[in-house]
């Protein structure tokens, strides 16, 4: 951890395959903190042999956004109890506009500074990158299209919300990952 920043919550937003995971990892490595990823959490609970786990597994495999009450609960829990005194890097959070409003409300209530990085790439770049990496069922063409649809319907509105709040930083996600990383690191240290 060679760098420091005053931001306790650092959020990455962007379409599927926009590099959120890579950048989150780089920030964690150099600034320290804990990764908060709805995707990882869903994959984790989808393994549980409980009614909740089974249902989450079905939703994940169909490429649906997780239910709002679960997303809000996990987010509130992370910020208010679990990681209240740690830096948290968020990957894929606040995808729906009310989650973004909630995210902002919680931060104000607990007086915790945050910044949102928007890794901007085109839909065609999403398709190319997903086909190339084929990580799991979520990278299948059908699932990618579903996620793009949800991005345009919901996530783009969350991004607009953060932009209006003055907490959003736009980053060109088509740049080489080292260049993207440099832009992010510079901002965090400024």
Under the criterion CB under 8 A, does residue 3 sit at the interface with other proteins? no
Under the criterion CB under 8 A, does residue 67 sit at the interface with other proteins? yes
Cα separation, 63 vs 58, in Å, equals 9
Alpha helix stretches (DSSP H) within the chain: 20-31, 38-45, 51-61, 68-76, 97-109, 123-133, 141-150, 156-165, 177-189
Residue placing its CB nearer to other proteins in the complex, 112 or 127: 112
List the one residue out of 93, 117, 128, 135 whose CA is nearest residue 31: 117
List the one residue out of 187, 188, 173, 190 whose CA is nearest residue 22: 173
What x-and-dash track marks residues 13-52 binding other proteins by CB under 8 A? Answer: -------------------------------------xxx
Please choose, out of 10-18, 106-114, 137-145, 162-170, the segment that lies near other proteins by the rule CB under 8 A.
106-114
Under the criterion CB under 8 A, does residue 110 sit at the interface with other proteins? yes
Interface residues with other proteins (CB under 8 A) are 50-52, 55, 67-70, 72-73, 76-77, 80-81, 84-85, 102, 105-106, 109-111
């Amino acid at each position: 951890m060679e760098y420091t920043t005053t931001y306790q919550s650092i959020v990455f937003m962007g379409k599927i395959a926009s590099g959120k995971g890579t950048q989150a990892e780089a920030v964690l490595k150099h600034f320290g903190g804990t990764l908060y990823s709805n995707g990882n959490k869903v994959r984790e609970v989808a393994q549980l042999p409980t009614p909740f786990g089974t249902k989450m597994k079905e939703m994940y495999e169909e490429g649906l956004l997780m239910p709002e009450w679960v997303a809000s609960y996990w987010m509130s829990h992370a910020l208010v109890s679990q990681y209240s005194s740690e830096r948290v890097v968020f990957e894929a959070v606040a995808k729906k506009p009310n989650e973004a409003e909630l995210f902002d409300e919680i931060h104000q209530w607990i007086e915790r500074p945050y910044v949102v990085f928007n890794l901007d790439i085109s839909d065609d770049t999403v398709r190319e990158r997903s086909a190339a990496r084929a990580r799991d069922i979520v990278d299948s063409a059908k699932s990618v299209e579903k996620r793009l649809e949800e991005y345009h319907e919901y996530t783009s509105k969350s991004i607009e919300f953060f932009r209006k709040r003055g907490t959003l930083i736009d980053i060109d996600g088509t740049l080489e990952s080292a260049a993207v990383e440099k832009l992010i690191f510079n901002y965090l240290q400024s």
